[in-house]
Structure 1
Amino acid sequence: MPTGPSSSPLLDRAARAAIARRRAVAAVLAAVTAIAVAGALRVEADFTPDDLFTGLDDQRAASAAFQAAFGNTDNVALVLVEAADALAPPVLQYVHDATRSLGARPWAAHAASVTTVPAVQRIGPPSGPASAASLLADLAAGRLRIAPPVDGAAVDAAAAARVRAAVAANRLLEGRLVSRDRRLAVVAVTLAAGVSRNDAIERAVEDMEAWVAAHSPPAGVRVRLGGLPVLRVGLIRKMKADQVTLFPATFAVCLLILLATFRWLPALLLPPVAVGLSALTLVGAMGWLGVRLDIINNIVPMLIIVIGLSDSIHIVTRYGERAAAGADSPTAATDALRSMAVACFLTSFTTAVGFASLAVSDMPILRRFGLLAAFGVLAAYAITVAFVPIALASVRPPRQPIADHEHGRIEHALDAVLRRVRRRRIAVLAVAAAVLAAAAAAASTLTIDTFVADQYEPDDPAYATLQLVERELLGVRPIEVSIAAPPGTFDRRDALAALERIAQWAAAQPGVLDATGYPALVRETWVQLTGDPAARSGPLPDAGALRALGAALDAAGAARAFVTPDRARARLTVSMRDVGGRALLRFAAALRARAEAELASLPGVRVDLAGEGYVSSLGLDTVTSDLVESLVLATAIIFAVLAGLFRSVRLGLVSLPPNVLPLALTLGYMRLRGIPLNTATAIIFAITIGLAVDGTIHILARYVDEQRSGADRDSALAAAMRGTGKAVVASYLSLVVGFSILQLSEFVPVQQFGELVAVTIAGCLVSTLVVLPALLASSPRRSASRAV
């Protein structure tokens, strides 16, 4: 048989030694497996989405300063109480009970609702004719107070009336704790500072769910949970459910593909054992190294199972070819190992390069994913080439050929495809170029963005809750404007006027639901004190009134949400629709510029942005940019490796079109399907560039082998397609079907990831079997004879 780039004297000796000492190799594999099992038992999981953004050091510092001043305003779980009249006494009693009970939990910092938010109440006769001075005097003397409308545990008719009056007088409650149509009331539970990791958040949400289940609402009232903590716990649960569903389904699909390809029991069992050991080794290494399963890398073990199957298929195919020629099992296994070790290493290496290219990312979680997957792919290669050949050497050869290159249906189909491609190679290349141009044109109009709703199916209850919160309240994507200044700044009338102008400008922008801050609190409190709605416009109260009013709001705990007690830091909250990450970032840049311009006359002012909407959009935008860099890097490395291996820049260039074309087709497919390019979808291109080239490597390696053995171009191409094509078809089909299994996921980004990888690999299969032969058939007849 040929002995080109797939073999060398050193490799020949190593292959013979491995097969001759297969018991020793098996003992080493058993030891590795035992160590892996021990490590796997140590693995922990942490699916906290915040890990996506831990690489943004400057933003982390700004967010930390904001949270130190105002708490983690993103970590708020909502109890949504829907009723025909959310302010009816029975409904308010339910809301009040939930507020008091959940707010007292050890995992809660505090809870707020319309029954507990401080409001202005008169409890004594006025000191004189209504005026700003008399109102402030009454406030100081206790004849007016700022306190919750409900005292104690019971909501009687009088308390319900006070709640209605407070809601009518205070516009800040609308959209936050009650809807404008008064059909939705909210209990907002802010989680404690230490409740930040997924396990702690999940326990808090479970406690809330238990409370809701144990306390039946009044008749006709519907209760559900919302807010970012609840949404995140829902995603975590979906990921955990995926672990239970996807692994068995993946193994089942692998078995079916192997059964359809080989119809021989050892070929059916050995590859799944090899990839299973590979996945176990990966998880064991994670355990020993202290690497947790996170929101991204939790799918890596399944990826290794799907990707690692390819090497086993090629080794078993080559073994079957030698066994059909009359070789005994040890000889056939030795020849399979010797002939496939280099080609399989190259395919594994290029796949690992695709993953490892993610190391250029600024995001630690993405770097971990890339490096972990790269290690897993190389570990799968090492285990496969060690385990499968020694196992094959220990079994009887199949009675019927498993690699009949003369009479197999797949081989006949490949021969027919090759004959047509050779006759019409110019037309094939022209069509490929036209398809590439059309796909590129479609891809140029592709949406590049990230939406919260993209993570959910339309029939998912979480999607309905998102729509409810955005429609009736103020959405889930706030931008927080954090403004630091010297102490006392935000007692000044000019400073508050500047904050108010910023909020008014922001509220008028497209996609903004609301913008509010301390000036709005001052005005709404002043409206309640004076009973004059006109106080919502016009000049703010004078400096003395502002200080007195601020002291009263501080005493009631009402000001703390918007300004620090020393008036050195203020907060503006801009609530956004789910307009997409790109639009949000454009608005955020304009908002920062506007805030800095309005505050320029104040000394020592610093403006920062925080909030889930801004931070997540910034992080995901950074990730998308990182993935473009990693794709370029991976493509360059893979080209250099192939050109070096074959000692031919031309063959290196020949390998690019069959693998670039499927990527362009996938972009066009995304445009037709309306799938945006975001983190979950962009990551596939850095990954699949390594997977896509696998078939090209195997066919080129066999093509070079045949030419070195004296075959001319056409004979070498026919032998390569006949000898390697079936394994390429089986490998690519296993990848397509294996990644299609991700459609069973309950997590939409994972579904899209699986769909797009499957589409890309299907394009690779067609491109490798049609475009690559057309390119080779157009080359000089002895072009590869000097390649190593």
Structure 2
Amino acid sequence: MLNKLSQIILKFPISVMTIILLITAYFFHYAFLSEQRLIVDFSLEQMFPESDPEKDSYQSFIDEFNREDDKILLVYDCDNPTSRKNISRIAELTEMMELDIDGIEGVISLSSIGDGDYFSEDLTDEEWNTQVEKLLQHPIYPNLIISSDGKTGSLLIDLENDVIGQDARTRVVNQLETVMNKVNWEWHEAGIPVLRTRYIQFMNQERAVFLPISFLVAMSVLLFIFRQIKSILIPLIAISTTLIWVAGIMAHFEISINVVSYLTFNLLMIIGASNAIHLLMKYHEGLSLGLSQRDSLERVIQKIGGALFLTSFTTAVGFCSLGFTNIKVTQQFGLLVGFGVILMFILTIIIMPIILNYIRPPNNEHIDRLIRGGQFLAADRLNTWNQKHPRSIITISGILFIVALFGLFKIDYNASVLEDLKPGNPLYDDLQYVEQKMGGTLPLEVIIDTKSENGSLQPQFLSKILNYKEMILKTPEINTAVTPGDYLMLANEEWGDGIRQLPNSLNDALSFTVDFDRVQALLNEDYSKTRISCRISDLPFDRGMQIREDILLAGHKLFGENIDINVTGSTLLALSTGRHLVKNLTTSFFIAFIIIFLSIVFLFRSFRLSLLAILPNIIPLMIAGGLMGYLGIKLRPSTAMTFSIALGIAVDNTIHFLARFRQEYKLSGDYEKAVSETLVTTGKAIISTGVILSLGFFVLYFSEFVPNHEFGLLATIIIIAAVCGSLILLPVLILQIKPTLRFKTGITNILVD
């Protein structure tokens, strides 16, 4: 198969390249110039699972009530938020926000209390101070628009329901920032819309920084290894062509560049550079044996092509395993990159030999430096060291295995919502400041269903709801909760008997509700259900689930079993989604592991050899997992995803080693000679690809975005450990066990040999 492919490629190079060029031009136009072009959509809503009880519960809440993820809290520090001067300034800002910014439904501020009459300019200083004291005892406003100590103020902004998606939110947030800058106060932002907007902006900034860095790292390593500009340009052509094809495919299937898929091009670039190193090494090796340029290129396609196909297949399996998750964007990312890896192999094995065939081959001095020079003395030294210290290598590997195993039991998978951000990040610092001054910033909703029309406005039920609220506020993480009863007491004070207490009858409650939008926002259409809107601090999954259980237990004790209670909100949904994704990714990892292992068994026709091959790839994964336990790195979606991806990439080294070892053993029939020859030839390419892969991932270590930082760290550790496993542990195991090798004709012989 590969023999025929090499003949077609080198016999009809112009025709083949013309076809590739035409397809590339089509994909380029479709992806970047057409109406269906590739779009960028970093909406975090895409991360919600396709089918999940938590999502269904949240969607049911959204359908019956107003959204709870459309509130922005702007906290400000000034000399005195309740002074006449500052109340006047807040009134001006409130008016500008409500009138000048499209997408804002309403603003609650210190100046808007009682339609602006609470802090009337006609008040005497004594009356003003009395109003301030009453404000701090108010059932709703403390920790909402004024801190409990009265030293910090805030504006609560309610967005219109159609402000959905990154573009709409960014427009509103930017306009709010313009208004805030009109006064010289210290501002801090919070709320789900701000969190989503700034989070995505932060991801975009990271993408703009690390994509070029990954590219420069890959090109720099190629230049260092081959010392020729053409050794950069030729792989670059193949990689760029593949990326254009992938972009065109993404546009065709309406796959956006999103919160997950933005890594696609970084990963494919690094993998493509790795493929190029193996191909160029094999090409120079053929020239060093005295083969002609054409014969050397045919040898490249026939020999390295099979190994590259196997490594591309295993890498693709690692990515495609993400298709078993329950989140659409993660499924798309896994399948897309998996397909992209196979596409990268096909285009690399076609484009690079064609271009190499048309340029002058490197001189003998350059070939000798690359193949026999001192640039890769590490491979020769490893060969010598392996022969001298086999027992030490096996002992050290066993110790690492045991130590890593203990570390695995220390892994914490109890992640929180805001742990993706590092201290020092403006968004993180803002949210922490707001939590410190005003309490929790994340929404939590408690829904109580009376199962009867107007049941939520019965005086007895309203009284129980206020008692339930007090029970909920005993939770340390919750310091703000609002019920319909809170607003109805204010309505009764203003429109009823003048006393701040609940209405005495259902009719009074109904009449107040009809004229009071804020009460209606906390009730469903027929007033059979009510909601208690809370704000909760950032918390881990386990604590979130415990709080939910405590709230449900307290509610059932208070109302009895005839009343249905549900605790939901975007906070619990985010926590549940993260835990759900971790479980899915763990399952996908084991699926990928099994598929890769069975593939190696099938291709090398030796179960014992396959066990030896997989062991050097298990230990790196265990080392990374053990370090997670010892360093306190939590098992979150980003770290769980690392293992599936890194397994597929790391096992490539083993396949290249075994493929070359099999060839050498077939020639000599001697295990030691075959291992030595493999180390000093393919070992050099494995070291080179290990360098380019580890550096490509390591640049993410410097990311301020925790998922990228941890992904870069763990992937780098796995890649380096896998290189060591393939070049140190695997040769020693082969020499100690001497597995039987079978040589048969057919597909396995074509691919492996």
TM-score by length of 2: 0.92
Q: Does 1:619 align with 2:585?
A: no
**Is the contact made by 1:246 and 1:744 (CA closer than 8 Å) also made in structure 2?**
no
**Is the contact made by 1:92 and 1:155 (CA closer than 8 Å) also made in structure 2?**
no
Greater CA drift, 273-282 or 287-296: 273-282
Q: How does 1:727-746 map to 2 (within 5 A)?
A: 727-746=685-704
Q: Deviations over 1:413-434 (max 9, x none)?
A: 2232223223332331222121
Q: CA RMSD in A?
A: 2.6
Distance 1:440 1:88 in 2: 61
Q: Which residue of 2 aligns with 1:39?
A: 30
- Select 1:557's aligned residue among 513, 517, 521: 517
Cα distance, 1:344 vs. partner?
Answer: 0.5
- Select 1:238's aligned residue among 192, 202, 220: 202
Query: CA separation of 1:723/1:707 partners in 2, compared to 1, >3 Å: closer, same or farther?
Result: same
Q: Which residue of 2 aligns with 1:384?
A: 348
Cα distance, 1:40 vs. partner?
Answer: 2.2
Q: Does 1:195 align with 2:163?
A: yes
Amino acid in structure 2 at the alignment position of 1:72: R
Q: Deviations over 1:548-602 (max 9, x none)?
A: 2553354243423433464212112343222212321232244334434544444
Distance 1:43 1:755 in 2: 30
Q: Which residue of 2 aligns with 1:50?
A: 45
Q: Deviations over 1:435-455 (max 9, x none)?
A: 111112122112213233322
- Select 1:504's aligned residue among 457, 470, 483: 470
Q: Deviations over 1:156-189 (max 9, x none)?
A: 7689668526513413211111111112211111
Cα distance, 1:411 vs. partner?
Answer: 4.5
Cα distance, 1:98 vs. partner?
Answer: 2.4
Distance 1:428 1:483 in 2: 64
Q: Which residue of 2 aligns with 1:207?
A: 175
Greater CA drift, 455-464 or 621-630: 455-464
Q: Does 1:677 align with 2:677?
A: no
Query: CA separation of 1:737/1:365 partners in 2, compared to 1, >3 Å: closer, same or farther?
Result: same
Query: CA separation of 1:151/1:507 partners in 2, compared to 1, >3 Å: closer, same or farther?
Result: closer
Q: Which residue of 2 aligns with 1:513?
A: 479
Distance 1:569 1:83 in 2: 40
Q: Which residue of 1 aligns with 2:5?
A: 14
Query: CA separation of 1:542/1:212 partners in 2, compared to 1, >3 Å: closer, same or farther?
Result: closer
Q: Which residue of 1 aligns with 2:411?
A: 446
Distance 1:244 1:541 in 2: 56
Q: Does 1:489 align with 2:455?
A: yes
- Select 2:88's aligned residue among 87, 93, 96: 93
**Is the contact made by 2:72 and 2:194 (CA closer than 8 Å) also made in structure 1?**
yes
Q: Does 1:473 align with 2:468?
A: no
Q: Which residue of 1 aligns with 2:97?
A: 102
Distance 2:626 2:357 in 1: 46
Amino acid in structure 2 at the alignment position of 1:177: I
Query: CA separation of 1:649/1:241 partners in 2, compared to 1, >3 Å: closer, same or farther?
Result: same
Matched residue SS, 1:316? helix
**Is the contact made by 1:507 and 1:513 (CA closer than 8 Å) also made in structure 2?**
yes
- Select 1:395's aligned residue among 341, 348, 359: 359
Q: Which residue of 1 aligns with 2:191?
A: 227
Greater CA drift, 45-54 or 395-404: 395-404
Q: Does 1:644 align with 2:602?
A: yes
Matched residue SS, 1:313? helix
Distance 2:490 2:39 in 1: 49
Query: CA separation of 1:252/1:522 partners in 2, compared to 1, >3 Å: closer, same or farther?
Result: same
Query: CA separation of 1:36/1:504 partners in 2, compared to 1, >3 Å: closer, same or farther?
Result: same
Distance 2:171 2:131 in 1: 32
Matched residue SS, 1:390? helix
Distance 1:586 1:347 in 2: 45
Cα distance, 1:410 vs. partner?
Answer: 5.0
Q: Deviations over 1:2-39 (max 9, x none)?
A: xxxxxxxx321221221121112211221122122112
Distance 1:650 1:268 in 2: 40
- Select 1:664's aligned residue among 586, 606, 622: 622
Matched residue SS, 1:595? helix
Cα distance, 1:641 vs. partner?
Answer: 0.5
**Is the contact made by 1:70 and 1:560 (CA closer than 8 Å) also made in structure 2?**
no
- Select 2:240's aligned residue among 276, 289, 294: 276
**Is the contact made by 1:713 and 1:781 (CA closer than 8 Å) also made in structure 2?**
no
Distance 2:466 2:139 in 1: 15
Cα distance, 1:391 vs. partner?
Answer: 1.4
Matched residue SS, 2:249? helix
Distance 1:268 1:558 in 2: 64
Unaligned runs of 5+ in 2: none
Matched residue SS, 2:111? coil
**Is the contact made by 1:684 and 1:757 (CA closer than 8 Å) also made in structure 2?**
yes
TM-score by length of 1: 0.88
Greater CA drift, 491-500 or 75-84: 491-500
Question: How many corresponding residue pairs?
Answer: 737
Q: Percent identity?
A: 23
Distance 2:89 2:261 in 1: 42
**Is the contact made by 2:485 and 2:502 (CA closer than 8 Å) also made in structure 1?**
no
Matched residue SS, 2:737? coil
Q: Which residue of 1 aligns with 2:545?
A: 585
Distance 2:432 2:528 in 1: 36
Query: CA separation of 1:782/1:55 partners in 2, compared to 1, >3 Å: closer, same or farther?
Result: closer
Amino acid in structure 2 at the alignment position of 1:204: V
- Select 2:77's aligned residue among 76, 82, 88: 82
- Select 1:569's aligned residue among 514, 519, 529: 529
Unaligned runs of 5+ in 1: 1-9, 119-146
Greater CA drift, 76-85 or 627-636: 76-85
Matched residue SS, 1:173? coil
Q: Which residue of 1 aligns with 2:644?
A: 686
Distance 1:206 1:775 in 2: 61
Amino acid in structure 2 at the alignment position of 1:216: V
Q: Deviations over 1:218-266 (max 9, x none)?
A: xxx3234332222222222222223332232222111210122111332
Q: Deviations over 1:743-764 (max 9, x none)?
A: 4545332222222211221111
**Is the contact made by 2:425 and 2:704 (CA closer than 8 Å) also made in structure 1?**
no
Greater CA drift, 342-351 or 470-479: 470-479
Cα distance, 1:305 vs. partner?
Answer: 0.4
Matched residue SS, 1:95? helix
Q: Which residue of 1 aligns with 2:338?
A: 374
**Is the contact made by 1:317 and 1:402 (CA closer than 8 Å) also made in structure 2?**
no
Q: How does 1:411-422 map to 2 (within 5 A)?
A: 411-422=376-387
Amino acid in structure 1 at the alignment position of 2:152: L
Q: Deviations over 1:616-660 (max 9, x none)?
A: 001111101100000000000000101000011112211211111
Greater CA drift, 20-29 or 352-361: 20-29
**Is the contact made by 1:198 and 1:233 (CA closer than 8 Å) also made in structure 2?**
yes
Q: Which residue of 2 aligns with 1:124?
A: none
Q: Does 1:216 align with 2:168?
A: no
Query: CA separation of 1:40/1:499 partners in 2, compared to 1, >3 Å: closer, same or farther?
Result: same
**Is the contact made by 2:503 and 2:509 (CA closer than 8 Å) also made in structure 1?**
no
Amino acid in structure 2 at the alignment position of 1:765: V
Greater CA drift, 463-472 or 507-516: 507-516
Greater CA drift, 92-101 or 643-652: 92-101
Query: CA separation of 1:593/1:628 partners in 2, compared to 1, >3 Å: closer, same or farther?
Result: farther
Q: Which residue of 2 aligns with 1:149?
A: 117
